[in-house]
Structure 1
Amino acid sequence: MEWYLSVIRQYFVFDGRARRKQYWMFMLINCIILIALYSLNQMARTEMFTSIYSLFIFIPSLALTVRRLHDTGRSGWWFLVSFIPFIGSLILLYFMVKDSVPGTNEFGPNPKETLSL
C-alpha cells in the first residue's frame, strides 16, 4: 500500500523521476480499487463511486506517468502519444515497461540508484 500512498502524497508533483516498480505497483493497486468500486457500483446500481474515485486519481496518475517518462529519458509531453488510436497506447506501454536511464539525466538522479546508497 506504500507504493499507492507515495503517489498520492506527490499529488501535483510532475518533476523528477519515478521507478518502474513504483508505477506498476500503483497501477496494480489502482486496478484492485477500481474493481472493488465497480462491484460496489453494481450493488448500489450507480456509477457514483468509480466516477468520484476516477476524478480523484486522475491528477496523481498523470503526474506519475510524467515522472515515469522522465525516468526513461523522455519529456512528459510524450504522454500525448496515447491519444493516437491503438498504436499510441502501445507506444506509451513500451515506454512504461522500459528500464530507467542509468545515472542522472535532465530530470534528476536515478531513483533506483539513490535508494541503493
Structure 2
Amino acid sequence: MTVSLFNVWKEFRFDAAHQLDAGPGGDPRYRRLHGHSYQVEVWVRGPRTEFGWVVDMGELERRLQAVHADLDHRFLNDVDDLGPPTMENIAAFVWTKLVDMPQLHRVMVKRQQNGEGCEYYGPQFAEGAQ
C-alpha cells in the first residue's frame, strides 16, 4: 500500500523593527533602527489522518497566533531567544516555538517588499549537510 504525503501550510504576517550589526565594511543602513513587514509560512507534511486532513488547521492557527504575538510590533532585538534579528533567526525562532509538531516540515520568512526570503527545514538537515 502506498501512503500519499501532503504539504499544507498556513501563513501569518507581522510588522517589526530591528537593528543589525553590518560588520566591517557592511552597509551602515543596517545599524539604524528600521522596520519591515514580514510574511511567515509554516509548512507541515504528512499523510491524511482518519479525519481526512494532515493537521487540524484550527490548532495550527492557534499555535501561530502565539508566535505572532511574540513578534508583531516588537523591537526584534529585545525578543528573548531570537538572537540577531535576521530572517534566518526568525525562521529558526518560529521553528523552535513549533518543534513539538511532528509534521513540521518548513518555515519560510519573506520580506516581499524587498524581494527577499529564507527557508528553514530544521536542525535535522543541518547535521547531514556537512
Is TM-score (shorter-chain normalized) higher than 0.5? no
- Please report the TM-score for the alignment, with normalisation by the length of structure 1: 0.28
* Larger Rg, first or second structure (1 or 2): 2
